[in-house]
């Protein structure tokens, strides 16, 4: 019995030791698992913090670029072109590829600083970065036109029209370029498009009238001039109308248009006074014609020689 009791105690000790060793094993495994998770979490948190830091730095950089561009825009509004150029260059130095607006602003500043070739390079970079940048295409077209490079101007303006077919300014520029190229039918189509997009644009109707007159469509020109004056009266448009009506032999209508032009501008309007003189002369109102011719010469010395000649011719008739 004593032997059995001793053996039982031994078994209990062995069993206890086994349980203890198993517990220690489990504890060690748990520690290793916790250590693994700790390492993974540490790496994950480090990467997340690094990414947040990069995002913050990038955000600060982008904000700094936008700030420089906004500063440039403010300088443009006050026509401080050198300061504007410096601000846009600063933005470009921070990011030379991501902000086409910086290049557009740079081009605008350079153009006004009378550096057209450098301005064109800036505009070209802007549209290279953003081919849909209609405003930059248009600015390039206008500058090429001013440099009398009409083919390049036309190409740029057509690109602007493709990227924004609703901007009346693009088609007004297109018409202006065609006029310079003496392609008056195409110019008339462009200005007609402007009147569709902006029906209250009296300047577009005047330009349409000029293009139609130059293309030989006198009736269309007269209608366009009348529509222009219907929106906003202009002494210059009434003069154009009077000159065209005189050419067509409609002297009474021409006299009415010239008279209205003189009512709107009575001091520096020698050309309208001359047309009034022509109309009066053709209507047989010689003294009135002499008065208008005299007025033309007094208003504008450029008309004096022609006016004096017409007066002399009338006196020979009288």
Q: Are residues 227 and 139 in the same domain?
A: yes
Tell me, yes or no, whether 48 lies in a domain: no
Beta-carbon contacts of 122 under 8 Å, excluding residues fewer than 6 positions away, are 103, 104, 106, 107, 110
Instruction: Report the distance separating Cα 218 and Cα 210, nearest Å.
Output: 9
Cβ atoms of residues 226 and 210 within 8 Å = no
Chosen domain end from 232, 257, 285: 232
Chosen domain end from 92, 115, 130: 130
Reported residue count of the chain is 318
Q: Which of 233, 255, 229, 227 is nearest to 242 (CA)?
A: 255
Write the pLDDT tens digit of every residue in 264-287: 999 999 999 999 999 999 999 999
Structure tokens at 187: 């110019």
Write the pLDDT tens digit of every residue in 30-76: 767 676 776 766 677 666 666 766 666 556 667 788 888 899 899 99
End-to-end CA distance of the chain: 169
Q: Count of domains in the chain?
A: 3
Q: Are residues 143 and 201 in the same domain?
A: yes
Instruction: Report the distance separating Cα 140 and Cα 146, nearest Å.
Output: 10
Q: Are residues 106 and 147 in the same domain?
A: no
The CATH number of the domain holding residue 203 is 1.25.40.10
pLDDT, position 2? 47
Backbone angles phi, psi at 113, to 5 degrees: -90, 10
Instruction: Report the distance separating Cα 102 and Cα 122, nearest Å.
Output: 9
Cβ atoms of residues 276 and 255 within 8 Å = yes
Instruction: Report the distance separating Cα 14 and Cα 282, nearest Å.
Output: 139
Average pLDDT of adjacent 10-residue blocks, the chain of 318 residues: 50 53 57 69 66 65 82 92 94 82 96 97 96 97 98 98 96 98 98 98 98 97 98 98 98 98 95 97 96 96 94 89
Q: What is the DSSP letter of 283?
A: T
Chosen domain end from 72, 97, 130: 130
Tell me, yes or no, whether 240 lies in a domain: yes
Task: Match 């030791």 to its residue by tokens.
Answer: 17
pLDDT, position 180? 97
Tell me, yes or no, whether 224 lies in a domain: yes
Tell me, yes or no, whether 7 lies in a domain: no
Q: Are residues 291 and 311 in the same domain?
A: yes
Q: Are residues 115 and 153 in the same domain?
A: no
pLDDT, position 3? 42
pLDDT, position 36? 73
Instruction: Report the distance separating Cα 1 and Cα 4, nearest Å.
Output: 5
Region of residue 310 (left: phi > 0; alpha: psi -120 to 50; beta: else): alpha
Q: Are residues 210 and 239 in the same domain?
A: no
**Domain span at residue 112?**
62-130
């Amino acid at each position: 019995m004593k032997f059995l009791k001793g053996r039982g105690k031994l078994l209990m000790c062995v069993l206890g030791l086994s349980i203890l060793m198993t517990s220690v094993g489990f504890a060690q495994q748990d520690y290793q698992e916790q250590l693994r998770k700790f390492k993974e979490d540490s790496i994950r948190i480090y990467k997340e913090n690094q990414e947040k830091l990069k995002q913050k730095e990038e955000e600060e950089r982008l904000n700094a670029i936008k700030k420089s561009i906004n500063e440039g825009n403010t300088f443009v509004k006050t026509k401080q072109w050198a300061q504007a150029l410096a601000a846009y260059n600063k933005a470009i130095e921070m990011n030379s590829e991501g902000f086409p607006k910086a290049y557009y602003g740079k081009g605008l500043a350079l153009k006004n600083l009378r550096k057209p070739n450098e301005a064109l390079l800036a505009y070209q970079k802007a549209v290279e970065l953003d081919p849909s940048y209609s405003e930059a295409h248009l600015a390039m077209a206008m500058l090429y036109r001013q440099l009398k490079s009409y083919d390049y101007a036309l190409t740029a303006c057509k690109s602007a029209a493709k990227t924004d077919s609703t901007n009346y300014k693009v088609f007004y520029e297109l018409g202006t370029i065609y006029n310079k190229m003496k392609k008056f039918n195409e110019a008339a189509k462009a200005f007609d498009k402007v009147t569709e997009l902006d029906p209250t644009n009296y300047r577009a109707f005047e330009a349409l009238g000029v293009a139609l007159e130059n293309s030989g469509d006198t009736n269309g020109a007269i209608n366009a001039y009348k529509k222009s004056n219907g929106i906003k009266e202009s002494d210059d448009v009434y003069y154009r109308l009077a000159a065209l009506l005189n050419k067509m032999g409609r002297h009474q209508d021409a006299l009415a248009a010239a008279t209205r032009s003189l009512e709107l501008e009575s001091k520096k309007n020698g050309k309208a006074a001359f047309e009034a003189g022509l109309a009066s002369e053709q209507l047989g109102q010689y003294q009135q014609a002499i008065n208008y011719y005299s007025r033309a010469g007094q208003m504008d010395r450029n008309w004096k020689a022609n006016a004096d000649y017409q007066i002399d011719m009338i006196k020979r008739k009288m």
